[in-house]
């Protein structure tokens, strides 16, 4: 019998959404306790700041340019390697994925993709090395086990969720709630029917089906706190948005806010003004410059509620581990796929914007007691790329050659021994409107440097350079500062040297989102 693995992910969660990371509003005692007993990473970054590329890296252990999912809408190849399959075949692990997968597009009316076909044909796998799978997304309609469960068990309740897609299959920008904030809805669904508790329920059911001596790799994947912002309305009494403070990252003065944006590459201001859309999940008709402080507060209140519901659901699963006597032999790893603006810079959602709101992730690893690892905080840069190799190390397996990362360090000293000093993130998007944006980013020695490669928006001369010690909110772009020109050139060269080559024939876009 070896060490078991509970891998917990959220979707679109900020670093500061957790109390252990300095969050001042949402109460997350379960996750905070896991962090207190384990290793908390101060600088974990994704390979890409949207769902499909980042999640495909989680399951393959490969860089975006190796697994091929270079933007949302490009499906992970059916024959892509899988850490779940590796653990199952080489170490006999029981494997399951409960919740959001999103290795393939979600918009799939002709059921071209296996994830959607499984849900729509009452199948539970196997898929990608997971012997059991039950999928959920961000609503009670669509191609998921959760949507099918809602349709059968609680058909009327599905109407309370925000309609993410309108009748033209575009992302809906309609507002709601008290402030008319985009993608906000008053959702009367009972908490016990909501997607967060459903994912916990299905995880608990699978865990309770195991034998006492089974080793397992269980991926519990919450679709929240991703937009739309429609948690159960009965839970909204936890916070009155009128009592909250605006996020520190929101420049209240409009002239100041727009001056900050103007100092960044041109795609920032163009999105703010509503003249550029480069990400499918941002509503095309919504203009960020119309966002009001009141709308930011209402959205943040809803995110805080979602984060608390996740923490409480995880607490129920942890109680099952304890009841079955597995707590001491189970490694728990918690992270997310990317972040969310939540009002920073006057913006919402995400896209080609490589700042901490989207790129700095919560990541926590509490090793099993048998590993003898002391609690610590690691400030060295790590990434999602390192998760699959860490699962291999936990299982006592060699890291296969097809993985690109390395096992997570358990201390800064271990990170130094591994030679860790940087982490890279990329963005590539080609929107149907013809917009093509390509960003390459490195974080090293407390600096984040992004170069915008030539595309339809940039000519290859623009970029961003931030010193986190002096400018933690990343408001002062020093890309054109002659006093740090040599540093900029060194960071750009290091980023390009660290990245795999862009594929000669990138996989085509198969479907939106």
Give residue limits of the domains in the chain.
4-421
Q: Among residues 123, 126, 133, which one has the least CA distance to residue 102?
A: 133
What's the CATH code, domain 4-421? 3.40.720.10
pLDDT at 425: 98
443-455 residue pLDDT tens: 999 999 999 999 9
Relative to beta strand 330-336, strand 363-366 is: antiparallel
Q: Among residues 138, 115, 67, 133, which one has the least CA distance to residue 388?
A: 67
Q: Among residues 74, 282, 72, 289, which one has the least CA distance to residue 170?
A: 282
Q: Among residues 499, 492, 501, 16, which one has the least CA distance to residue 248?
A: 16
Q: Give the number of other CB atoms < 10 A from CB of residue 204.
A: 18
pLDDT at 249: 98
Q: Among residues 331, 350, 332, which one has the least CA distance to residue 341?
A: 350
Quote the pTM value. Answer: 0.98
Q: Among residues 133, 19, 120, which one has the least CA distance to residue 84?
A: 133
Q: Among residues 123, 128, 96, which one has the least CA distance to residue 210?
A: 96
The parts of the chain modelled with pLDDT lower than 50 are: none
Q: Could you give phi then psi for residue 221, rounded to 5 degrees?
A: -120, 100
pLDDT at 1: 66
290-308 residue pLDDT tens: 999 999 999 999 999 999 9
Quick one: residue 285, left, alpha or beta (phi over 0 = left, psi -120 to 50 = alpha)?
A: alpha
87-105 residue pLDDT tens: 999 999 999 999 999 999 9
pLDDT at 168: 59
Contacts of 254-259 spanning 24+ positions with Cβ under 8 A: 257/345, 257/346
pLDDT at 167: 53
Cα(325)–Cα(204) distance, integer angstroms: 14
| Residues in the chain, overall count | 513
361 within 8 A of 54, measured Cβ to Cβ: no
Which helix (DSSP H) or strand (DSSP E) does residue 133 occupy? Answer: strand 132-135
Q: How many Å separate Cα 339 from the centre of its chain?
A: 6
pLDDT at 457: 96
List of residues 6+ apart from 128 with CB closer than 8 A: 59, 80, 82, 84, 85, 97, 103
């Amino acid at each position: 019998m070896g060490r078991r693995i509970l891998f917990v992910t959220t979707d679109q969660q900020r670093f500061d959404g957790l109390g252990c990371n300095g969050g001042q509003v949402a109460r997350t005692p379960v996750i905070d306790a896991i962090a207190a007993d384990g290793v908390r990473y101060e600088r974990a970054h994704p390979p890409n700041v949207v769902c499909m590329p980042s999640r495909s890296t989680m399951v393959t252990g490969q860089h975006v340019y190796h697994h091929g999912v270079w933007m949302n809408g490009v499906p992970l190849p059916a024959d892509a390697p899988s850490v779940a399959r590796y653990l199952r075949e080489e170490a006999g692990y029981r494997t399951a994925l409960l919740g959001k997968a999103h290795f393939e597009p979600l918009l799939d009316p002709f059921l071209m993709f296996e994830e959607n076909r499984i849900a729509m044909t009452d199948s539970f796998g196997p898929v990608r090395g997971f012997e059991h799978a039950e999928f959920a997304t961000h609503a009670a309609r669509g191609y998921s086990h959760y949507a099918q469960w809602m349709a059968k068990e609680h058909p009327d309740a599905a109407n309370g969720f925000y309609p993410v897609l309108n009748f033209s299959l575009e992302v809906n920008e309609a507002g709601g709630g008290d402030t008319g904030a985009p993608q906000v809805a008053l959702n009367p669904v009972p908490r016990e029917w909501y997607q967060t508790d459903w994912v916990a329920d299905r995880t608990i059911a699978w865990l309770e089906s195991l034998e006492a001596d089974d080793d397992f790799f269980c991926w519990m994947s919450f679709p929240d706190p991703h937009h739309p912002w429609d948690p159960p309305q009965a839970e909204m009494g936890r916070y009155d948005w009128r009592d909250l403070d605006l996020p520190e990252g929101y420049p209240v003065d409009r002239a100041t806010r727009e001056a900050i944006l103007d100092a960044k590459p041109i795609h920032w201001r163009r999105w703010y003004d509503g003249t550029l859309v480069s990400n499918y999940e941002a509503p095309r008709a919504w203009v960020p410059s119309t966002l009001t402080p009141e709308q930011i507060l209402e959205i943040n209140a809803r995110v805080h509620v979602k984060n608390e519901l996740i923490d409480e659901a995880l607490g129920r699963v942890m109680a099952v581990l304890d009841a079955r006597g597995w707590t001491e032999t189970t490694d728990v790893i918690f992270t997310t796929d990317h972040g969310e603006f939540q009002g920073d810079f006057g913006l919402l959602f995400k896209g080609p914007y490589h700042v901490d709101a989207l790129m700095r992730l919560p990541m926590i690893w509490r090793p099993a007691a048998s590993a003898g690892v002391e609690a610590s905080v690691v400030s060295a840069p790590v990434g999602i790329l390192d998760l699959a190799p860490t699962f291999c190390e936990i299982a006592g397996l060699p890291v296969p050659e097809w993985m690109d990362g390395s096992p997570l360090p358990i201390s800064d000293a271990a990170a130094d021994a591994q030679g860790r000093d940087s982490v890279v993130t990329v963005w590539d998007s080609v929107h149907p409107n013809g917009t093509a944006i390509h960003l390459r980013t490195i974080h090293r020695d407390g600096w984040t440097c992004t170069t915008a490669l030539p595309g339809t928006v940039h000519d290859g001369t623009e970029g961003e350079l931030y010193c986190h010690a002096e400018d933690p909110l990343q408001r002062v772009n020093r890309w054109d500062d002659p006093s740090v020109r040599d540093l900029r050139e060194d960071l750009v060269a290091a980023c390009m040297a660290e990245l795999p080559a862009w594929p000669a024939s990138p996989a085509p876009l198969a479907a939106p989102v």
